[in-house]
Amino acid sequence: MKPVILDVDTGLDDACALLLAAQHPELDLKAVTCAGGNVGLDDVVINTLTVLDAAGRTDVPVAAGAAAPLIQAVRPAPHIHGVDGLGDLDWPRSARTTDPRHAVELLRDVLRAAAASGELITLIPLAPLTNIALLLRTYPDAAAGLREIVFMGGAAGIGNVTAAAEFNTWADPEAAAIVLAAAGELGVPTTMYGLDVFYDVVVTLEQARTLGGSQSADLARALIEKRSALYQADGATIGDGGAICAVIDPTGLETRAYPVRVELAGSWSRGRTIVDTRDRSADRTSDPQGQAATTVQVATAVDGNRYADLWLSTVGRQHA
């Protein structure tokens, strides 16, 4: 089993990811940490606990973290995820409480334990990277417990919240820049699962409607139905869930190593991931801005059908 931690801002696609990570037999979900993003932090926490309850994973510790980005205000996306972040599905809400630690403290403790045991952890951030930036700058020793970071965010070529930027990096670009810099300094292998592949793992309504018989399967079906209705389509991407698939089955994802920066200024480009795809090393070395210090494995193509089947077969699994 691969030990993993998820950092989430649970909206509809984070919920798809949580259902998969909580139930796949090859993943050992050690903890889930929460940040404000798609919705406010309080709703993120409730949504996260609710999804884990549906997956039968009340054993997984959940901690609340950063309520706001490092500098700018929270800018949620209720038009995408509903007012409550879970599509306003009126799903039975969890009554559980969170771990008493701050998310950064929970991350620190689990990663230090991993470093001591030698069982290194894959960290999968699916939210603005605020918690992870705070972790790596406050407790850099905790990086010794990391096998890798696989984050959903950024893009080599497109944006969604703006023409230039993807939501998670746009929501806290300073945090994204800090995480990339720290990963390079601390030697943590990093993969960017961005918009270049994000939309390519699609579950059809027909496939979703075969799901049922457990709370998890019923919620999974409802998530796809809600996202399909939102986009007036006969199916929906599992979004962040694709990053979990990439950890379970990395051979379904094509990546290339590129230097990556985050644009922190720019009238139209704040939050854009600047992926340096130039092939000629001479162009990079003569660049007056210099080359980005951190090289990232950037997702360039995905086997969408393979990952959709992986998600469907897992979230439909019966649990005790």
User: What confidence tens digit (pLDDT) does each residue in 186-229 have?
Assistant: 999 999 999 999 999 999 999 999 999 999 999 999 999 999 99
Token pair recorded at residue 26: 């090859």
Write the single-letter amino acid at 159.
G
320 in any annotated domain: no
Domain annotation covers residue 288? yes
- Are the CB atoms for 261 and 154 separated by under 8 Å? no
CA-to-CA distance for 16 and 226, rounded, in angstroms?
12
88 part of the active site: no
Q: From CA 298, how far away is CA 275, in angstroms rounded?
A: 8
Q: Is residue 48 part of a domain?
A: yes
Token pair for 119 = 């069982």
Is the pLDDT reported for residue 302 higher than 70? Answer: yes
Tokens linked to 220 = 């999974």
CATH number of the domain encompassing residue 107: 3.90.245.10
Total domains in the fold of the chain? 1
- pTM given for the model: 0.96
Other CB atoms within 10 Å distance of the CB of residue 286: 8
Spot the catalytic one: 9, 14, 43, 109: 9
Q: Is residue 82 part of a domain?
A: yes
What whole-number distance in Å separates Cα of residue 57 and Cα of residue 12? 18
What is the pLDDT of the chain when averaged over all its residues? 94
CA-based nearest residue to 152, from 179, 134, 182 = 179
pLDDT in tens, 1-50: 999 999 999 999 999 999 999 999 999 999 999 999 999 999 999 999 99
At residue 185, φ and ψ (nearest 5 deg) are: -65, -35
Q: Angle between the 215-230 and 12-23 helix axes, to the nearest 10 degrees?
A: 150
pLDDT above 90: residue 320: no
Residue 110 lies in a domain: yes
pLDDT the model gives residue 76: 81
132 domain-assigned: yes
Higher pLDDT, 310 or 319: 310
How is the chain split among helix, strand and coil, in percent rounded to 5?
40, 20, 40
What confidence category does residue 265 fall into, taking pLDDT thresholds of 50, 70 and 90? very high
95-125: pLDDT as tens digits: 999 999 999 999 999 999 999 999 999 999 9
46-83 pLDDT per residue, tens: 999 999 999 999 999 999 999 999 999 888 887 888 88
Q: Which is it for strands 121-125 and 2-8: parallel, antiparallel or unpaired?
A: parallel
User: 133-164 pLDDT, tens per residue?
Assistant: 999 999 999 999 999 999 999 999 889 999 99
Where in the sequence is the domain holding 130, given as residue range(s)? Answer: 2-315
87 or 121: which carries more pLDDT confidence?
121
**Does residue 283 lie within any of the structural domains?**
yes
Q: For residue 34, give Cα distances in angstroms to 40, 115, 157, 178.
A: 10, 22, 28, 18
Residue partners of 208: CB distance under 8 A and separation at least 6:
220, 221, 224, 225, 228, 235, 312
Question: Has residue 280 got a pLDDT over 80?
Answer: no
